[in-house]
Every structure is written in structure tokens, then in C-alpha cells.
Structure 1
Amino acid sequence: MEKITTVLFDLDGTLLPMDQDLFVKSYFGKLAEKMAPRGYDPDGLIKAVWGGTAAMVQNSGKSTNEEVFWNFFSGIYGEKALRDIPVFQEFYEVEFQEARQVCGFNPLAAQAVALCRELGLRRILATNPLFPSIATESRMRWAGVSPEDFEYYTTYENSVHCKPNPDYYRDILAHCGLRAEECLMVGNDVSEDMVTETLGMKVFLLTDCLINKEGKDLSGYPQGNFEDLMTFIQKLR
């Protein structure tokens, strides 16, 4: 069995415990409140953000996710949307931070990342790159880890694909000079994270905030909580 050199961690629902529906409701509610005085109808705004998100998920790789999102969004709202980018940026710096209140916290998340560091393993944050870096870095801190804990983390600025597209993971491998066989992917979403197995990565399904939208059989996956994960990682060494 090939030696593992690198662990990829998902963020939302993995390092950062959350009920995804509750988080999205809080996030969108705060965004709509922020942008209403700028002339954005709440329902229309949320529909446009979902549309931009879908466009990023379908990204063919020719543009960054950031470019794809704003192309879609400005297609609805015109130049006004591009002029308001600083206001959206301010939202992530200020109001978005309140969404932390609907997220959980598990100190074992940071311990698992620290264990990887102690074992000399490379660490990558493979979070679906639908957010700007400021929002991704904030959510890391909410989870008790920091950008410095990872050699690379994906954001909408630096990515041209999204989960569950295997090309998203291929991009990470290419960027970091890795082969799939030397990597372990840790995530809570069966469809989005366990797809790495098809590339040859080892996987661990974190079940604290399990998402299995397609109702797949989970019996074949190494799985459990953070204690189980840390035991699993030590055995891989």
C-alpha cells in the first residue's frame, strides 16, 4: 500500500460542523438585508446568487469561478452589480461573520489537522470553491484552524472547477505536484468528497454532519468521528 503524504480536508460539515440548510438560510438572510437598501429585491437576489452558484458548479475550466459568478450575476443586474462588488466584499468582512452563530465547533477538528502536521503530512483544504477567500478564511477560523495550517486552500478566485467534478481534485493534484495514490480525502458529503476514490485517493467519511443526498451504500467507506479519523491516519503511517 502506497504511503500517504497528504491529507485533504473538506471544511463545511467536516472541520466546521454545520447544518447546511440552516447556514444557507442565515447567510442569504443577512446578504439580502445588506443589499436591500442598494435596490436588490431579496427574492431576486437570492435567486441570482443560486444561479451564479449553479454556473460555478458547471464551470468548464476556461474561467475562474469568480469570473463565472460575476458574469452570471451581472447578466441579471448589469453594470450595477460590478459597481457593487466592494459592498459584497464588505458584507463578507462584517455581516457574514454573524453566520458563525449557526455553526457548531469541535476542538477535535483542529487536533486532527495538528496531528497531520506532527506526522509530517502535507495538509490541503479542499473546500468547494464557491466563496471568496475572505469568507473561506473566516470559516477556517470559526473551525479553530487558520490559513497557515494548510499549504493550499481553494476559493472562487483560484479555482476553475467545483465539487463534485473530479477535475476540481485533479486541479489540486496538479497545483501541488501530487499523485492521487498518496492522498487521503476527508469529508462529510458522499457525492462531493468520496468521488476522489475514483481518482485513486484513499477516503475517510466523517459522519458527524453526514450528507448522502443520493442514498448511497456507505458500508465500503472507512468512516466515523474525529477520534476514528485520527486513529485511521495514525494507522496509515
Structure 2
Amino acid sequence: MLKAILFDLDNTLILFDEARFYQEYFRRIERRFADLMPANIFRKRLISATHALLQNNGKMINSEYFMSAFTEQSTDRRDRLWNRFLHFYETEYDKIKVNVRLPDDLHETFDEIGQTGLKLVLASNPIFPLNVQMKRLAWASLDHFHFDLVTHIENMSFCKPRIEYYLEICRKIDEPTQGCLMVGNDPINDMIAARAGLKTYLTDDSKDSLRVTLDVSEDLLKDQILHIPEPDFKGPLSDVRLVVQRYG
């Protein structure tokens, strides 16, 4: 019996050109750190530290692991740099222009699922703070919707596509993996949840969108992405309701 549904965010609940968005993201955040390091060095460190999160073995919160990698083990300015990241996300992130489309019947789908009593998780890759996840959720006008868990950089110790990310979620919501359904557009980052024992639903609403450049690369964790099972279900996001009606 279905107990919980995990939803990816980018190009699952909100449809947009991630590559174009991140070009503007890099331009703005590099400017915020320009007094500390050249833009090319900052971008290299930011991407490297984000990719390094794949190596987090669960002994450290992602935010701590990220900052350790970003500062290259130096603790002198770690808190000040982290606060600068937080200030950027609070004051500048909303200024990045983005053209967002929503999947068909998004709100009707969530209204119906919300009445089932199932636990709901916003399972966006936890490489950003909570306020960034919520700002992007607001693009879909779902920031008012109740989620039992929103994964972000300060409450998770793994990230996609690690299998442990999904196991950590199931522990946090106290549900068996077999009772959980992962819904997302990414055949690797999201569908690898099957390796952890979850049911999977591959959405097709975003098939024309470009993938993000900041996200973890599929070739960084080859031992885990091999032999990802075929999704249990495929289709538009709105058809998740049919799965819920059948198995909920």
C-alpha cells in the first residue's frame, strides 16, 4: 500500500530552461563574491564543491560538507562565506529572470493527492538552502502546500543520485521504501530511487527542457547508476493521480 509520494521539483513541478537560468545565476552570484576571488575561480570552486557532495558519506550535513569543499578545508572564513551565500539567496535569487510553465492540471493534481492523507515530500536535490527550495516552489504557487519533508542542504547528508539520499528520506518520514513512490523527470537522479526499493514514476512534461549544468553529473557515480530499473510508471504528472487511486 502506498504511504508516501516524493516529488522532484525542477522540470517536474516547474518547467523551465535550467541551462539559461543558471547562466544568469552564475553571473549574479559571481558578482556577489567578486571582492574575494575572480569569477572563473569562484565558479570552478562552486561547481567542484557541489559535485563533491556526492562523496558525503552521511557523517556531515550537506551544508558543512559543501563549505569544507568550497573553502578547501580552510576554516578561517567559512562562516562568513556561508553567510554571504545565505544573504545572496535571500536578497538576489528572486531577481533572476525565469520563464516558468506548469505541468497540465498541476494544482488539481495536488489538491486531489492532498486529500488522500499520504505523506508528501519535496525531494529536490539538497544542494540549496530551504529558502531557495521554497522560492522555486512558489513559482508553481505551491509554497502554501503542506509537505511532510522538504529536502535541502541543511537537513540532508546525501544528495541525488545516491541511493542513500532516498533511504535517508524514508527514515525521516518513518515509512518503508516499498511504500514510497518517487515522481520525477530525471531518468538517473530520480529513477535511481528504484535501487533503494521505491516505486518510480517518470514524468514526461519537460521533455523539451534543457538539463542544468550545476547538477551532479551522471558520470560521477557510475557504480550506482548502472542497472537502474525501468520506471514502474511513465506519463504526465497529472496521471500520478491514477497511480494513487490504484495503490493508495
TM-score, length basis structure 2 = 0.84
Match of 1:101, SS state, is coil
Deviates more, 1:114-123 or 1:94-103: 94-103
- Corresponding position: 1:130 with 2:127: yes
Q: Equivalent residues in 2 for 1:119-198 (5 A)?
A: 119-146=116-143, 148-198=145-195
- Corresponding position: 1:20 with 2:18: yes
Structure 2 runs not aligned, ≥5 long: 212-217, 219-224
The residue identity in structure 1 corresponding to 2:234 is Q
Distance 1:218 1:108 in 2: 28
Q: Aligned residue for 1:225?
A: 236
Q: Residue 162 of structure 1: CA displacement?
A: 0.7
- Corresponding position: 1:39 with 2:36: yes
Structure-2 change in CA distance of 1:226 and 1:82 (3 Å): same
More helix as a share of residues: 1
The residue identity in structure 1 corresponding to 2:15 is P
Q: Which runs of 4+ in 1 moved over 6 A?
A: 216-219
Distance 2:246 2:155 in 1: 33
Q: Residue 94 of structure 1: CA displacement?
A: 2.0
Structure-2 change in CA distance of 1:220 and 1:132 (3 Å): closer
TM-score, length basis structure 1 = 0.88
The residue identity in structure 2 corresponding to 1:167 is E
Distance 1:228 1:202 in 2: 15
Structure-2 change in CA distance of 1:235 and 1:173 (3 Å): same
Match of 1:195, SS state, is helix
The residue identity in structure 2 corresponding to 1:17 is L
Distance 1:78 1:199 in 2: 35
The residue identity in structure 2 corresponding to 1:231 is L
Q: Is the 8 A contact 2:195 2:229 kept in 1?
A: no
- Corresponding position: 1:50 with 2:61: no
Distance 2:129 2:119 in 1: 23
**Aligned sequence identity (%):** 28
Q: CA RMSD in A?
A: 2.6
Q: Equivalent residues in 2 for 1:67-78 (5 A)?
A: 67-75=64-72
Q: Is the 8 A contact 1:107 1:144 kept in 2?
A: no
Q: Is the 8 A contact 1:173 1:180 kept in 2?
A: yes
Structure 1 runs not aligned, ≥5 long: none
Distance 1:108 1:83 in 2: 43
Q: Residue 199 of structure 1: CA displacement?
A: 2.4
Distance 1:103 1:76 in 2: 38
> Deviations along 1:114-135, whole A, 9 cap, x unmatched?
2211122111111110001111
Match of 1:184, SS state, is strand
